[in-house]
Structure formats: structure tokens, C-alpha cells
């Protein structure tokens, strides 16, 4: 396999809405370069990119796929990404390692919902963008409408580089404004014939060419001076200006394509080679400690892993980008995330399911290796001796959480192991064991994401699972002080059990004064694993309870706090004052005082105006302005407190406090209300009291469950 130097490597990510033709374009780019001899079709399930069984079943991309093509002595690494927002865990790593994004638009549909969602992710990574208007041969293609929508959605940086002479089924001519020539394609596509721009198009082409020259000139003072002096820039000067404009994101050049009929892909690849910036020209990568790492062949060897794939035969495949230096087969590198040393026993580049061995990879290149024992996605590997850790990938929080159980309980252990392996491949899958509810909760980006997870568990790991809504992690507390005592006495012959505890409980708050009317002999402040605090006071005088039994009383109190008296939910923010009691010289023991402490606390709790608390989430819901009314009505029906609304471009952002109990499958509802155009983020805010009506309902339900059990 040919090794390309760092100056002849370009990395692009194909992005866009579902159905815009990314996989077909990738196939055409490989065919046009001669790397494959026959173009596959998504419908025929024989493309290089979509090779997984689930992709064949769905007829669309589910995973991001790495490929490469070679064009005029340049290597172009391509990452073909899925177009559905539920699969954003595949898209974000591609954005992280790409040097240029190619955003495809369907000429028949314009800027779609999925396009806007992908664009939002692209904005966070600040990468250069090429816009490809694809499917110009579609019967309903409308280049002008699509271009107008692109300018409306993405701004004035959208710059016409090419335009079609005709479109629809007769599409076969493209006028290129950089080269000021017309490309004429045969019906079967392929290499076009270059012809002069016809008289009927000269006025339009010259006007658009002038706009392109001005766009190139405005990015460089020297070019601007040349333009003012001569009224024109030559082709090399325009390339220089356009490259700077792409890097500054003031220029998003627009290309014309029919990927299906192989029209326009060669010119696009030529532009990627000659103009689109490579890794060496991109800004230095941010390090976790705030420093920077420049991409240079002369620098230390540094890899950044961006994708992990588990295969039954090969084990774990790790894909990476060489961020600096070069790597060779057999080299030992240190994983800065784990501190372990990893050996790269194999090096290869990936073309779909094919792996092509290479001896070395240079700075800026993308490749893979197998069987790294302690390396996951978004880890940094580097030559021993230096500490280098690249900024990690920021994955979105889950938007849908469900309890997951194996249908066959005997396979629960196998299920857990499978989920941990899947999590390595897809960090947007989260796994959490809810201690207070005893449930294993899996999180994902939506219904489709979890359905694909279910399919994978059944197909690859042979574990059938069920999903259900998770229990809400309520908390219990009290609103006033209360006293109680309990005597535990048990006599069964021989030594018995005896312990009597008198205690007072009070609501705890930060900086409250110490208890009045008691002598404090000891105090323990405990941060509870489930949140909040327990403050425990030993106020025994006169030795009525021996100090050695105080830990047992505390243990009994803690036991009841773990499963509170109202609904079995953990209790929090309470202080307990043990101030009196009795013991027996023979029958008192640890278990007696544990039981007495538990029962006394339970009795006091029920008298202290117990209060059930529910988790409140802070929501940021981003919706198109024209759909805000329906979303607001729905949020108010979910007991939301509206904090504010602010404009953000063409959208409105609604901030609320909303009970977690009201958010089950909210992602599905929001997509339905907004035709998929709304998004939201959530994070835990605080625990707040539930209404008396809801508390009574939840307490009654808990009692019924206890009786049924």
C-alpha cells in the first residue's frame, strides 16, 4: 500500500440529512479514482460503505465508515456518516478528525430538518465546509431554491462555485466559475468534456465569477490589493484566497453533483486536493491542559482514537488519526488516558470492511490497528516520555432512558457484558445502575437509537431484551421536628434482646444552629450516596446507653433512611438527636439497639410531616419560532415552570424547570410536535416537594405494591 506524505493527505467527512446521497457519492469517488471497478448501489446492498447487515435491512447508513480514494497524487480519507440525529454518536467523532466537511443537500428537498441538525454539530467544531448540491438529475431538482435556502440557513458565506445549465432528467452540463469553463457529461457520467461557456450563459457566469473573485480577495490584504490594481485574480491567487476563506469560515463553496450518475465528483475531488486545507494547515489541536499540538511530521508520534469496532474474529478494531509525527508497525505507545503501554502490532487503512496493511502512517493520516488491550474511543496515544492528552470528544447526554432487562434472567450477566462492549463502540449509549430502584437503565439518543441497540444485542450477542420506563428516583424528607421512642424487648430463654431509644428528628439545613436543650457528646455529618445529608447527634447523659451501642443505633437509622417510610425512596436532609434510652446489663446488644433505632426513627418520621421530593430537570428546548406555541402548551402540561425564552437565529430557546416524571419519551413527543426540527438538552437541577395530591397517590401506590409483594 502506497504511503502518502503529510503534505498530500486530505480528510473529509460526508455529512447531511438522511437520503441526500452521501454513500452514493463515496462510492462514486472511489470508482472515479479507479480504486473499485464497479459502482455499487445502496438498493443492491453492495456499496463499500454500507456493508453491515442492519444497514442492508434499513437501506441506509447506521454507522460511520472510513474509506479512502486517491486523486492526482493526493490521498483523500473519507468518513461516510449516517444522516439521522439519533445516530449522532457516529457523526461527532467524524467531525473531530475531519479537516473539511462536505455537506450534501438534496436538490429536490433543499435544506432539510436533518441538515439543520447536522449543521448545529458542525458549528461546534469550526471546520471548513464545502456544500454539494446533489441529485440535480432528479425530476424535482431546483438548484436556485436549494441555494437560496442554504444562504438563508447558513449565511452569506455560501458561495457559488458552480451552477447547472439545466437540471432534472436533462442535467448534464455544469459551469465552473473558478476555471470559467463548462463541463459536459455523457448520460453515463464519468470524465466530462471541457467546452467554452456558451454565449447564453456568459453574462451570468461572468457576474458570478466576479462575486467569486471578490470572495477570494476579501480574505487576504495582498490579494485585495492585487484585485484593486488589476480588477482580477489569476486561478492560483483565487485558490489561495478561497482556502483562507474556507479556514476562516467566510466561504462555503457550492458544487453541483449527481452522485448516482457520476457527474461532478472528479471536479469536487480536484478541489479537495488543490484548495481544501489539510491537517498540516489546520489550527493546532487543543490539549486537555490548555496547550496546543501542531500537526507536523517532525513532531512526536501522537494518535487520537475516534472509533472502536468489535468484531467476532478480529476482536477490537481501533481507528485513529495521526495527530503528529509518524507511526510504524510494532511501535510501543503510551495511552495518556490510562497510563498503559500499547503495541501497534498491525497497521492498516480501512475501506469499509476491507483492511489494507501499511508499514507506516504519517501526520494527518487516518488508519487502524487491532487488539489494543486498554484503549477506548477518544483516547490519546503517544511516544513514551512526554505527557500529551488531546481534548476529548464531547458526546451529547442521552435523550431517552429506559430500564433494560434480559427476557431470560439467566442471561443478565451476559447482557451487562454486552452493553459494556457496545458502550466502547458508541459512547452515546450510557449505562447506569440505579441503586435505590434496583434497575439497570440504558440511555440513548431516541427511539431509533435504542431499537438499533436492541437489534444488535439480539443479532450479535444473542440476548433478547425488554425495555420499560424507569422508576423515578424520589426522595423523602421531613418538614418539622418530632419525638419518638421505641423499646425492643425479646425473651426466648437464656440471653434475650433489649434496647430502648429516645430520639428527636428535625429537618436539616445548611448553617442551622446546633440542637437546643441537649448536651452534645458526639456528632457525625454524613454525605449520603443518594444526595443530601444525615447529621447524627449523641446526646446521651448519665450513661443510660453505652457509647458502644451508638453505632448500632446509627446503623438502624441509616437502614430506614435507605428505604424511607413513605414510598421506600431514600430519605435525606435530616438530623437525628439521640437523647435518652435504656439498656440491660445482660440482654442489650448491637442488634437490639439497631432495631430500636430503626423503629424509633420510623415512628418519628411519620409524625414529622413527611414530604416526598421529586427530581427537577433544567431543560433547554430549541424549536423553530413558528412551532413554539405547540411546544409551550405541551411543556405547561408537563408541570413545567417557564424560566425564559430567547431568540437564537431562526430558533427560539425555551428554558424550563420540569419534573423528571413528566419527561418519559419526551424526545419522541418533541420530534412529533416539531416535525423533527426541535431539539433539547436536560440536566439535573434540584429536588423539590411534590404536591399533596401527587404524594398521596404515590404513597397509596407504594402500599399496594407492598401488599401485592
Percent of the chain with pLDDT strictly greater than 90: 83
For the entire predicted model, the pTM comes to 0.86
Beta carbons of 600 and 457 less than 8 angstroms apart: no
Q: Give the integer Cα–Cα distance in Å for 366 and 307.
A: 11
Q: Give the integer Cα–Cα distance in Å for 99 and 227.
A: 29
Percent of the chain with pLDDT strictly greater than 70: 99
The average pLDDT across 145-169 equals: 96
Q: How many CA atoms lie within 13 A of 608 on its CB side?
A: 32
Residue that the C-alpha cell 414529622 belongs to: 608
Beta carbons of 593 and 553 less than 8 angstroms apart: yes
In this predicted structure, the answer to whether residue 617 has a pLDDT above a threshold of 80 is yes
CA-to-CA separations, 492 to 83, 128, 585, 596, 599, in angstroms, rounded: 72, 82, 17, 18, 21
Q: According to the model, what pLDDT value does residue 1 have?
A: 65
Beta carbons of 552 and 591 less than 8 angstroms apart: yes
| Buried-exposed string 254-272: b where 16+ CB fall within 10 A, e elsewhere | bbbbbbbbbbbbbbbbebb
Beta carbons of 237 and 225 less than 8 angstroms apart: no
Degrees (nearest 5) of the Cα angle 132, 136, 137?
145
Name which of 156, 158, 163, 154 is nearest 181 in CA terms.
163
Beta carbons of 607 and 479 less than 8 angstroms apart: no
Q: What is the pLDDT of residues 21-75, one digit of tens each?
A: 999 999 999 999 999 999 999 999 999 999 999 999 999 999 999 999 999 999 9
Spatial neighbors of 44 by CB under 8 A, at least 6 apart, are none
Q: Give the integer Cα–Cα distance in Å for 164 and 175.
A: 6
Q: According to the model, what pLDDT value does residue 497 have?
A: 93
Beta carbons of 442 and 450 less than 8 angstroms apart: yes
The average pLDDT across 440-459 equals: 94
Beta carbons of 375 and 427 less than 8 angstroms apart: no
Residue that the C-alpha cell 441503586 belongs to: 435
**Other Cβ atoms closer than 10 A to 315:** 12
Q: What is the pLDDT of residues 182-234, one digit of tens each?
A: 999 998 899 999 999 999 999 999 999 999 999 999 988 888 888 888 888 89
Q: Give the integer Cα–Cα distance in Å for 357 and 343.
A: 16
- Supply 669's cell numbers: 413527543
The average pLDDT across 652-671 equals: 93
Q: According to the model, what pLDDT value does residue 492 have?
A: 72
Q: Give the integer Cα–Cα distance in Å for 597 and 26.
A: 70
Spatial neighbors of 173 by CB under 8 A, at least 6 apart, are 164, 165, 166, 182, 183, 184, 185
In this predicted structure, the answer to whether residue 650 has a pLDDT above a threshold of 80 is no
The average pLDDT across 370-388 equals: 92
Q: What is the pLDDT of residues 249-275, one digit of tens each?
A: 999 999 999 999 999 999 999 999 999
In this predicted structure, the answer to whether residue 114 has a pLDDT above a threshold of 70 is yes
Beta carbons of 465 and 419 less than 8 angstroms apart: no
Q: According to the model, what pLDDT value does residue 493 have?
A: 67
* Confidence grade of residue 372 (pLDDT, cut at 50, 70, 90): very high
Question: With the C-alpha atoms ordered 508, 514, 515, 516, is the resulting torsion angle positive or negative?
Answer: negative
3-state SS assignment for residue 566: coil
Question: With the C-alpha atoms ordered 420, 422, 428, 434, is the resulting torsion angle positive or negative?
Answer: negative
Q: Give the integer Cα–Cα distance in Å for 117 and 95.
A: 14
- Domains annotated on the chain, with CATH: 8-205+248-278 (3.40.50.300), 288-382 (2.40.30.10), 400-468 (3.30.70.870), 476-608 (3.30.230.10), 612-694 (3.30.70.240)
Q: What is the pLDDT of residues 585-614, one digit of tens each?
A: 989 999 999 999 999 999 999 999 999 999
In this predicted structure, the answer to whether residue 547 has a pLDDT above a threshold of 90 is yes
Beta carbons of 259 and 265 less than 8 angstroms apart: yes
Q: Give the integer Cα–Cα distance in Å for 606 and 611.
A: 10
What's the chain's average pLDDT?
A: 93
* Confidence grade of residue 397 (pLDDT, cut at 50, 70, 90): confident
Q: According to the model, what pLDDT value does residue 310 have?
A: 87
**Other Cβ atoms closer than 10 A to 451:** 13
* CA trace torsion 25, 27, 31, 35 (10° rounding): 130
Amino acid at each position: 500500500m502506497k504511503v502518502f506524505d503529510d503534505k498530500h493527505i486530505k480528510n473529509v467527512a460526508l455529512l447531511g440529512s438522511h437520503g441526500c446521497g452521501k454513500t452514493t457519492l463515496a462510492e462514486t469517488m472511489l470508482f472515479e479514482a479507479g480504486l473499485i471497478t464497479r459502482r455499487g448501489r445502496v438498493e443492491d446492498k453492495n456499496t463499500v460503505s454500507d456493508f453491515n447487515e442492519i444497514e442492508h435491512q434499513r437501506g441506509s447508513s447506521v454507522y460511520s465508515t472510513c474509506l479512502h480514494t486517491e486523486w492526482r497524487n493526493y490521498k483523500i480519507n473519507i468518513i461516510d456518516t449516517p444522516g439521522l440525529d439519533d445516530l449522532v454518536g457516529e457523526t461527532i467523532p467524524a467531525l473531530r478528525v475531519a479537516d473539511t466537511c462536505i455537506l450534501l443537500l438534496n436538490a429536490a428537498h433543499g435544506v432539510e430538518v436533518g441538515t439543520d441538525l447536522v449543521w448545529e454539530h458542525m458549528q461546534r467544531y469550526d471546520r471548513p465546509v464545502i456544500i454539494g448540491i446533489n441529485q440535480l438529475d432528479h425530476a424535482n431538482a431546483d438548484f436556485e431554491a436549494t441555494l437560496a435556502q442554504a444562504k438563508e440557513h447558513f449565511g452569506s458565506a455560501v458561495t457559488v462555485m458552480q451552477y447547472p445549465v439545466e437540471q432534472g432528467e436533462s442535467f448534464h452540463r455544469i459551469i465552473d466559475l473558478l476555471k470559467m469553463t463548462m463541463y459536459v457529461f455523457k448520460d453515463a457520467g464519468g470524465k466530462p468534456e471541457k467546452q467554452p461557456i456558451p454565449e447564453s450563459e456568459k453574462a451570468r457566469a461572468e457576474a458570478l465569477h466576479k462575486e467569486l473573485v471578490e470572495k477570494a480577495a476579501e480574505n487576504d490584504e495582498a490579494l485585495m490589493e492585487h484585485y484593486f490594481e488589476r480588477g482580477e485574480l489569476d486561478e492560483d491567487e483565487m485558490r489561495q484566497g478561497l482556502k483562507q476563506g474556507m479556514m476562516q469560515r467566510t466561504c462555503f463553496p457550492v458544487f453541483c453533483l449527481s452522485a448516482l450518475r457520476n457527474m461532478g465528483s472528479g471536479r469536487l475531488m480536484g478541489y479537495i486536493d488543490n484548495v481544501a486545507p489539510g491537517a498540516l494547515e489546520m489550527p493546532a489541536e487543543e490539549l486537555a491542559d490548555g496547550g496546543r499540538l501542531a500537526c507536523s511530521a517532525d513532531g512526536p508520534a501522537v494518535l487520537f482514537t475516534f472509533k472502536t469496532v468489535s468484531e467476532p474474529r478480529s476482536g477490537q478494531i481501533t481507528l485513529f488519526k495521526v495527530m503528529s509525527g509518524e507511526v510504524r508497525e510494532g511501535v510501543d505507545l503510551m495511552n495518556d488516558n490510562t497510563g498503559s503501554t500499547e503495541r501497534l502490532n498491525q497497521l492498516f487503512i480501512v475501506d469499509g470492511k476491507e483492511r489494507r496493511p501499511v508499514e507506516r502512517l504519517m501526520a494527518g493520516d487516518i488508519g487502524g490497528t487491532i487488539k489494543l488491550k486498554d484503549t477506548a474511543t477518544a483516547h490519546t496515544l503517544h511516544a513514551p516520555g512526554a505527557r500529551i492528552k488531546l481534548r476529548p470528544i464531547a458526546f451529547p447526554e442521552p435523550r431517552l432512558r429506559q430500564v433494560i432487562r434480559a427476557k431470560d434472567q439467566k442471561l443478565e450477566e451476559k447482557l451487562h457484558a454486552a452493553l459494556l462492549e457496545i458502550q466502547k463502540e458508541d459512547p452515546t449509549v450510557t449505562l447506569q445502575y440505579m441503586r435505590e430502584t434496583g434497575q439497570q437503565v440504558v440511555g440513548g439518543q431516541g427511539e431509533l437509537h435504542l431499537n438499533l441497540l436492541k437489534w444488535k444485542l439480539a443479532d450479535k450477542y444473542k440476548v433478547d431484551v425488554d425495555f420499560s420506563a424507569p422508576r423515578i428516583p424520589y426522595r423523602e424528607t421531613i418538614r418539622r421536628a418530632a419525638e419518638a421512642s421505641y423499646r425492643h424487648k425479646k425473651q426466648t430463654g437464656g440471653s434475650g434482646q433489649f434496647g430502648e431509644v429516645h430520639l428527636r428528628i428535625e429537618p436539616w439545613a445548611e448553617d442551622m444552629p446546633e440542637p437546643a436543650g441537649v448536651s452534645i457528646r458526639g456528632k457525625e455529618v454524613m454525605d449520603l450516596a443518594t444526595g443530601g445529608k444525615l447529621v447524627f447527634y449523641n446526646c446521651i447523659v448519665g450513661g443510660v446507653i453505652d457509647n458502644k451501642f451508638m453505632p448500632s443505633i446509627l446503623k438502624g437509622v441509616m437502614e430506614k433512611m435507605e428505604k424511607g417510610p413513605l414510598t421506600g425512596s431514600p430519605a435525606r436532609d435530616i438530623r437525628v438527636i439521640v437523647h435518652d434510652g435504656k439498656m440491660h446489663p445482660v440482654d442489650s446488644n448491637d442488634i437490639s439497639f439497631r432495631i430500636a433505632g430503626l423503629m424509633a426513627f420510623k415512628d418519628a418520621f411519620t409524625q414529622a410531616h413527611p414530604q416526598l421530593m421529586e427530581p427537577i430537570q433544567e431543560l433547554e428546548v430549541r424549536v423553530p419560532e413558528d412551532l413554539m406555541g405547540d411546544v409551550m402548551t405541551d411543556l405547561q402540561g408537563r408541570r413545567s415552570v417557564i424560566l425564559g425564552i430567547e431568540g437564537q437565529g431562526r430558533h427560539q430557546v425555551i428554558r424550563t424547570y420540569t419534573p423528571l416524571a413528566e419527561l418519559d419519551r419526551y424526545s419522541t413527543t418533541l420530534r412529533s410536535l416539531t416535525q423533527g426540527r426541535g431539539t433539547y438538552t436536560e440536566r439535573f437541577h434540584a429536588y423539590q416537594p411534590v404536591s399533596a395530591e401527587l404524594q398521596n397517590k404515590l404513597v397509596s401506590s407504594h402500599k399496594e405494591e407492598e401488599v401485592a409483594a
